[in-house]
Amino acid sequence: MNHQYYNVLGVMSGTSLDGIDIAHVTLVYKEIWSFEIHIAETIPYTPEVKKKLALAITYDRADIISINQEYTAYLAVQINTFIEKNGLNNLLAVCSHGHTIFHQPENKYTLQLGNLPQLAQLINQRVICDYRVQDVELNGQGAPLVPIGDRLLFGAYDYCLNLGGFANMSFEQNGQRMAYDICAVNVVLNHYSLKLGEEYDSGGAFAKAGTLQISLLDQLNALDFYHQKAPKSLGMEWVNRNIFPILDQIENIYDILATYTEHVALQIAKHLKENKSLFITGGGTFNTHLLESLEKHTNAKIILPNSIIVENKEALIFALLGVLRMRNQNNCLASVTGADHDHCSGRIYLP
């Protein structure tokens, strides 16, 4: 494909269940890539949809097939509404990540809802989606996928850190892009904030009101995952198996949040070299207490972009992954995922 100018939508749903991020972006290639996010919106999940997605990890095969069809139809409604509301025309493609339910690369299995061929028919647009499956089939982790975008769009920074449901970071090392998941973030913090009647810990206020529990912190820091070498990635299965049993040893939710926030800051800080630039995006960027805790443990130069990039970098980059797929260029890096080789991943569905 010879297009140099790409008018597309990027669509993303994170594991923290904030909602569906949709971004209308222009990507331009003129020796280097540039972008503009024209308009973006996070469409919150209804309580019913959020509950279904949270419980989907427990569903049997028949129920998973059903919720995949249901979610695809739900996603189509949100995309169509966004397109109509904003008067968008001549879109080249809708590049959608879907919503991760299962992520078990060790079992050669990963599943993102909403990646069915029907999506293209329901929105009457070309769809590029399902980026992770091929990488897992090639013995990769299927994650993280964002680092190719970090390299091509945000390569001026030493580290690119995303604070979403999970923290993941990418950087250049010996001419290769390296990246991996560091720890769970908002999937844990939001879980306990709900017990205090809020969907998230606004500004880290709950954590700030709690008392650090050293014994819990030591148990968290001792988990095997943190001592494994990259490539490595995380999913909710790992959180359910490893994180919640430790934190649930105590009843005080404020203390749990205080301890886990400190844990996140420590785990991120140990991956940073001194005096390097750290470009941070994702919903966790608005957790000022977490950022203050991170600053205590590192002297990295923290850089926060404008809010539209903070909130929509992943949607932007999944738009880029879709464009690279249309160009038949590699969008998955073996140095990041551990796959057998770099490759061009994603399924293309036509209406």
Tens digits of residue pLDDT in 261-317? 999 999 999 999 999 999 999 999 999 999 999 999 999 999 999 999 999 999 999
- Is 113 found in the same domain as 63? yes
- Is 220 found in the same domain as 342? no
The Cα–Cα gap between 242 and 236 comes to 10
- Is 208 found in the same domain as 116? no
Domain total for the chain? 2
Tell which residue, 206, 218, 168, 198, has the closest CA to residue 289: 206
CATH number at residue 16: 3.30.420.40
- Looking at residue 15, its pLDDT comes to 82
Burial of 12 (0-12, 13-18, 19+ CB in 10 A): buried
The domain in which residue 136 lies consists of: 5-146+314-349
- Is 71 found in the same domain as 182? no
- Is 274 found in the same domain as 181? yes
- Does residue 3 surpass a pLDDT of 80? no
Question: What per-residue string of b and e applies to 69-94 under the rule 16 or more CB within 10 Å gives b?
Answer: eebbebbbebbeebbeeeeeeebbbb
- Is 289 found in the same domain as 320? no
Mean of pLDDT values over 216-225: 98
- Looking at residue 218, its pLDDT comes to 98
- Is 223 found in the same domain as 254? yes
- Cβ-based neighbours of 81, under 8 Å, separated by 6 or more: none
- Is 172 found in the same domain as 129? no
Q: Return phi, psi of residue 195, to 5°.
A: -70, -20
Burial of 275 (0-12, 13-18, 19+ CB in 10 A): exposed
- Looking at residue 124, its pLDDT comes to 98
- Is 112 found in the same domain as 63? yes
- Looking at residue 169, its pLDDT comes to 96
User: Do 277 and 157 touch, CB atoms closer than 8 A?
Assistant: yes
Q: How confident is the model at residue 114 (pLDDT cuts 50, 70, 90)?
A: very high
- Is 110 found in the same domain as 187? no
The Cα–Cα gap between 264 and 270 comes to 10
- Is 109 found in the same domain as 43? yes
- Is 158 found in the same domain as 295? yes
The Cα–Cα gap between 172 and 165 comes to 23
